[in-house]
A and B are shown apart, each in its own frame.
Chain A
Amino acid sequence: GAVVSQHPSWVICKSGTSVKIECRSLDFQATTMFWYRQFPKQSLMLMATSNEGSKATYEQGVEKDKFLINHASLTLSTLTVTSAHPEDSSFYICSGRANYEQFFGPGTRLTVL
């Protein structure tokens, strides 16, 4: 299957700082990437859909000014959590679409102190 990488795999930051998470499709071009958030013992919740070269579409309740998404190329999408707070601590997973399937990255564990 297609491979998606994320960087970093985990990050710890102080409250009020911004954190950038990178998502790369390594062996395919993803015109669409999806960003999910997963809290402990819960399933994945879609945050936004990112299309290459255009603005991301955010799900209801997700603040677009807080979670900045850039999909500048067919192989790279970034999620920036601005002014992070402890309630933003979560597991963030990206996914790229190839043919009929979505392939998921390994996730980024964000802990905000």
Chain B
Amino acid sequence: KQEVTQIPAALSVPEGENLVLNCSFTDSAIYNLQWFRQDPGKGLTSLLLIQSSQREQTSGRLNASLDKSSGRSTLYIAASQPGDSATYLCAVKREETSGSRLTFGEGTQLTVNP
């Protein structure tokens, strides 16, 4: 059974700092890994999706890396802003079938202080 762990559970940083969020998964046989952002009381916004054959994806100030063999992914946020404050979730998909589910981590709650 796939298990996804995110460290740290919570993180508070001053504005402008670069930071790294960690995600690990127990079963390396994944199809892809996705990072999401969730604001309080809201749904999920997809940030980055990395296919199993890829090593990283970038979007603006965000960079996500994937090391499938070691079961790890990191989300790097450059020059953090107060608007980045949210819960960040990573999720892995085992296979590319219509019913293949996402397994989520518990999330990292990020607070960026002005």
Q: Which residues of A are interface residues toward B (Cβ below 8 A)? A: 1, 4, 6, 31-32, 34, 42-44, 46, 49, 51, 57, 91, 93, 95, 97, 100-107, 109
Summarize A's interface: helix, strand, loop or mixed. strand
Is B98 an interface residue, CB under 8 A from the partner?
Answer: yes
Smallest CB gap from B107: residue in A:
A43
B34, A101: Cβ atoms closer than 8 Å: yes
Q: Which residues of B are interface residues toward A (Cβ below 8 A)? A: 32, 34, 36, 41-46, 49, 51, 89, 96, 98-99, 101-102, 104-107
* Known A31-B98, A101-B46, A106-B43; 12 more pairs at CB < 8 Å: A6-B43, A44-B89, A46-B101, A46-B102, A49-B99, A91-B41, A97-B98, A101-B34, A101-B49, A102-B102, A104-B43, A104-B45
Q: Which residues of B contact A4 (CB under 8 A)?
A: 43
Task: Known contacts A1-B46, A43-B89, A100-B49; decide if A32 and B99 are in contact (CB<8 Å).
Answer: yes
Smallest CB gap from A4: residue in B:
B43
Q: Which residues of B contact A104 (CB under 8 A)?
A: 36, 43-46
Task: Known contacts A100-B51, A106-B43; decide if A57 and B104 are in contact (CB<8 Å).
Answer: no
